[in-house]
Amino acid sequence: MEEKLKNLARGLLTGLLAAPFITLFSNLVNSATAFNSGNRWLIFFLPAGSLIITWIYRKVGKDAKNITGIAIRNIQFAEDGNTSLKGEARIKIKAAITGFLTSVFSHFLGASVGKEGIGVQIGLACASVLDNAEDRLLSESRRDYYLISGASAAFSALFGAPIAGSLFGAHIASPKLQRFDAFLPSIAAAFSSYFVSQAMHIHVLSVPPVRALSLTLENAVTVFFFAVLIGAVCSLSCRLLEFFKEKLNTLYPGGDYIKALIPALLLLAVSVLSYFIKGSFRYNGLSVDLMRLSMFRAVDFSDFIIKLLMVLLSLAAGFQGGEVVPLLVLGSTFTSSLATVFSLDASAYSILGAIGFLAAGTKLPLVTFALGMELFGYSEPALLFLMTATALIASGKVGIYSHQRIY
């Protein structure tokens, strides 16, 4: 009972500490996005912005970008029975602050990135502060529980989804494991963070009500084949993400600044070109409007290609944010355009595709299943589950979290 009370306190404290910072971050990203939408001339500073961010991380240290990887390795180390985690790398607060500032700056300029990646890093940093405090005051701690709670708190607040948040923290490091031992702190963190952030009026992704497909044999077969294709396309997209983030700059000579500047210049060129072709800058930033558009009517396959290219170039240029929202947008646009080819209701398949794409990319089917119901209000659980499970299986081992233990 004493240990359960400690874990409850760990989760509650983590959620209460993380919620205000996550709220501030999310609201600042929303403000930066809104300002950019009204001042699109800012995209012409994307190349300069990439150089500034490169300079910042050269000063802080490139390892500052790897907060999530450090957290995952710490959790996995504890899963192997090393609960003290003495000597393991700790998360540095200045790294989270750097991510916070550079992510808001990235959205201010109109880079095509998400926000949940840095948001989770902020939650992990808050958890690390509490872990350090307990270790110093009581000479005992469970760093893995704190980190799990930090991830849960962040995901819950960012998406207004406490169930998905609870599952996210408990599964992010090792989706193949059921961390029942960590459910109490992760649930406490997710729900406390949710209520505090809602009370502080956090800005979360909002979508209009969607029409769920009815559970029929025909719809189940169609969703299954869509999910297989979505999983395969997401796997390819994740491989491209990995290549653009880690290996693209090895193809041409130059220092860090040149390696960031070239994709930033290409990002600017694609942004301007897409405006002249499509008459819109909707591919810059989070592109939530593009996802909403795919829910009301069919979009072109070119929308998926342009958005994917801009996400790849934004990450290659060093802009900070995350990949979860981009995966949702990519999934919705790809599925909407595909449904049109088969004369299906594009709006009905758009959200299923978004959730399937996210399940394939994160390797977290239970998290995305819960998110589909909490965030998107999808009311047919059987088809939603079929989409997430099948897309995951079809996508193989490649995902956005490279340090996960999947199989």
pLDDT on residue 74:
84
- Top pLDDT among 4 and 407 is at 4
Percentage of the chain surpassing pLDDT 70? 97
Nearest-5° angle of CA 157, CA 158, CA 162?
Answer: 45
From residue 233, alpha-carbon distances to 75, 254, 271, 296 in Å are 30, 32, 23, 23
- Burial 60-83, CB ≥16 within 10 A → b, else e: beeebbbbbebbbbbbbbbbeeee
Percent of the chain with pLDDT over 90: 61
pLDDT value at 85 more than 70: no
Query: How far is Cα 194 from Cα 212, in angstroms, rounded to an integer?
Result: 26
pLDDT in tens, 36-81: 999 999 999 999 999 999 999 998 877 778 888 888 888 877 776 6
The stretch 163-184 carries a mean pLDDT of 85
Q: Is the dihedral of CA 347, 353, 358, 364 positive or negative?
A: positive
Count of CA atoms in the C-beta half-sphere (13 A) of 385: 5
Do you know the residue count of the chain? 407
* The pLDDT value given to residue 65: 81
pTM over 0.85: yes
- Picking from 95-104, 120-129, 178-187, which range would have the lowest pLDDT averaged per residue? 178-187
Average pLDDT (11-28) is 96
Task: Give residue-wise pLDDT tens across range 193-232.
Answer: 999 999 999 999 888 777 888 999 999 999 999 999 999 9
Q: In angstroms, rounded to a whole number, what is the distance separating the alpha carbons of residues 168 and 233?
A: 23
Q: Which of 15-19, 291-295, 343-347 has the lowest mean pLDDT?
A: 343-347
User: Which helix (H) or strand (E) covers residue 376, if one does?
Assistant: none
Look at phi and psi of residue 406 and say left if phi exceeds 0, alpha if psi is from -120 to 50, else beta.
alpha
Write the pLDDT tens digit of every residue in 290-340: 998 888 777 889 999 999 999 999 999 999 998 899 999 999 999 999 888
